[in-house]
Chain A
Amino acid sequence: AQSVSQHNHHVILSEAASLELGCNYSYGGTVNLFWYVQYPGQHLQLLLKYFSGDPLVKGIKGFEAEFIKSKFSFNLRKPSVQWSDTAEYFCAVSPRGAGTASKLTFGTGTRLQVTL
């Protein structure tokens, strides 16, 4: 069974600070990787995804993530956060391959609070 670990549960940053949120997964096969964001009062939205190819993927709103296969990691980064980035961030994985359900396994989430 797959599992996802997000080690930072609550992060507080000042505007313009750089952000890195950790995500590690455990799975014996090939996976697709995702970061979802949930802004206050809104539903889960896809931030970015990695299926294959260039391990550095860019998403919306200036976010990027790097897949490091040897470390089973998919950390999320943003060079300069804004107050509007205040949200909860979820890392998720799904197994890849024919016949798989592609169900997502989520981490417990990281609450990001950006102060002015």
Chain B
Amino acid sequence: DTGVSQDPRHKITKRGQNVTFRCDPISEHNRLYWYRQTLGQGPEFLTYFQNEAQLEKSRLLSDRFSAERPKGSFSTLEIQRTEQGDSAMYLCASSSRTDTQYFGPGTRLTVL
């Protein structure tokens, strides 16, 4: 399977804990995006990488959130001191210069 993969698929954590998600994009794609989707809403943009450079961050991405893409390959999204409001589906997408984004299956986070 050469699509976008995400790990883990599900994460349950207690409030205040830190969590980290991983995204592996389609191998030849140099652009990588993170989105968050809550129930009844469409995905909302969080941040964007072109190669290893993080070029844009949404205001939704508070100081507790950090994303990295070392060496321009896989990316990680870390949430520190999780809150119940962080419960959502976290989606990763990748694209090449064609600007068509392909999405992974997402990581569903539940904060108790």
Seen from chain A, the residues whose Cβ lies within 8 Å of a Cβ on chain B are 4, 32, 34, 36, 42-46, 49, 51, 90, 92, 94, 96, 101-109
Contact = CB atoms under 8 A, between A and B. Distances in A.
Interface in B81-107: 91, 93, 95, 99-106
B48 A101 contact: yes
Contact of B45 (A32, A51, A104): A104
Interface of B: 31, 33, 35, 40-45, 48, 55-56, 91, 93, 95, 99-106
A103 B42 contact: no
23 contacts: A34-B100, A42-B105, A43-B103, A44-B43, A44-B91, A44-B103, A46-B102, A49-B100, A90-B42, A94-B99, A102-B31, A102-B99, A103-B33, A103-B45, A103-B48, A104-B33, A104-B43, A104-B101, A106-B42, A106-B43, A108-B40, A108-B42, A109-B41
Given A104-B93, A109-B40, 13 more contacts: A4-B42, A43-B91, A43-B106, A44-B103, A45-B103, A46-B101, A96-B99, A101-B48, A103-B48, A104-B101, A106-B42, A106-B43, A108-B42
Contacts of A106: 42-44
A80 to B, nearest CB: 26
Nearest to B104: A43
Contacts of B99: 32, 51, 94, 96, 102
B99 to A, nearest CB: 5
A34 B101 CA distance: 10
Contacts, number: 53
Contacts of B104: 43
* A-B pairs with lowest CB-CB distance, top 6: A106-B42, A44-B103, A43-B105, A103-B45, A101-B56, A101-B48
A44 B101 CA distance: 10
A92 B48 contact: no
A43 B90 CA distance: 11
A105 to B, nearest CB: 7
Nearest to A90: B42
A108 B103 contact: no
